[in-house]
Amino acid sequence: MRFIRQCLVLVSFSVIIAGCTPPQTQSTDNANNVNYGPRTFQEDTPQFTAVVVAYEPELNGILETLEKHDQADIDKDLKFKGITYRLGQFRGEPILVFATGMSIANAAMSMQMAFDYFPIKQVVYMGIAGAVNPKWQPGDVIVPARWYYHDESVYSNPHPENPQEFVIPEYYQRFLNEQPQRKANDPNLPNYKPFGLIHPDEVVVIKDGMDKPEDKAYFSASPRLLTAAENAINKLPTQKILDKREAVLSVGGNGVTGSVFLDNREYRQWVRDVFDAEVTEMESASVAQVSYINNVDWVVIRAISDLAGGQEGVNVEHIYDEEVSRIGAKVLFATLEEIIPEK
């Protein structure tokens, strides 16, 4: 009897766990396996617009704006594995608000959790970034069309007979040999060249519909959401930075992401040369990759806090954090108003 009672408890516990299995669309490989993997949502389940930032100072500005907005509210907080997901409404449509945490690994983890736990139809990500192109100044806002990893790379030894050259793996040499033809077919590919021992490479991805992993140089934001951001910017009044300079708001170009706080002017110039980058930060390409794998539309809005490594002495990006986040939030909410029409 004790054995039977223990079995019943285990069965009951298993049913509870299965009933709480988190969301998003199942992989076709596991579509018939109901015991494992993310839950499949019904077609009539309301889908969220995810409003996402990297860290708390950016999140506070979003929450304050939502609190003041007469057509928005947050009505529920849910915490999974330390991440707080806030559920609410914007113009009568469901929104999901959360901070990914800083850097690539945190952004990838919390974004995939969101896709597994909630039915999400689109992602609007906002945060601060360092300028790579020196024409941008603190308070300017850029909505890049493409995002690259700048530190997906090969670190190699110097050549024993010529210290100015490096010994690179055979696979990477083949990769370099392919670039002229690839570049002819896709002008948005990077202009690959090394930075000392660092040789830039591409991330390898796989998703439903692919037979095997493929190299991917960059991820493209959803044209629909880029158009929405452009329309939003065109309608916004002039944005002043600390009541001094007018902010420049722009859509298009390239952004780069890496697991480093980029604070070196020579490396920044290399990133500009190789990736033709406008901005650099630590989350967006990761958010883009996870959204791409899940077939979810996405766009990233970045407000400039500093010129990466452009200062003399200690970096001063923290001086502008709050002010530039405010302008970034203006662009974010104007974009939301474009993609969620007033009812």
Q: How far apart are CA 179 and CA 197, in angstroms?
A: 19
Q: Is the same domain home to 189 and 222?
A: no
So what's the pLDDT on residue 272? 96
CA 149 to chain CA centroid, nearest Å: 11
As beta bridge partners, residue 24 has none
Q: Is the same domain home to 66 and 98?
A: yes
88 three-state secondary structure: strand
**pTM of this prediction?**
0.86
Burial of 325 (0-12, 13-18, 19+ CB in 10 A): buried
The enclosing domain of 121 has a CATH number of 3.40.50.1580
Q: Is the same domain home to 126 and 253?
A: yes
214 three-state secondary structure: strand
Contact 99, 54 (CB under 8 A): yes
R_g (Cα) of the chain, nearest Å: 22
So what's the pLDDT on residue 310? 60
- pLDDT (tens digit, 0 to 9) for every residue of the chain, 343 residues total? 444 444 433 434 333 333 343 444 445 555 556 678 887 888 878 899 999 999 887 888 888 888 888 889 999 999 999 999 999 999 999 999 999 999 999 999 999 999 999 999 999 999 999 999 999 998 999 999 999 999 999 999 999 988 888 999 999 999 999 999 999 999 999 999 999 999 999 999 999 999 999 999 999 999 999 999 999 999 999 888 877 889 999 999 999 999 988 888 899 999 999 999 999 999 999 999 999 999 999 999 999 988 776 654 454 555 566 778 888 989 999 999 999 987 7
Q: Is the same domain home to 171 and 56?
A: no
So what's the pLDDT on residue 34? 64
So what's the pLDDT on residue 9? 39
| Domain of 99, in residue numbers | 38-152+202-339
Q: Is the same domain home to 129 and 65?
A: yes
**How many domains would you assign to the chain?**
2
E strand or H helix at 52, and its extent?
Answer: strand 48-53
List of residues 6+ apart from 239 with CB closer than 8 A? 139, 141, 246, 247, 249, 327, 330
Q: How far apart are CA 161 and CA 13, in angstroms?
A: 65
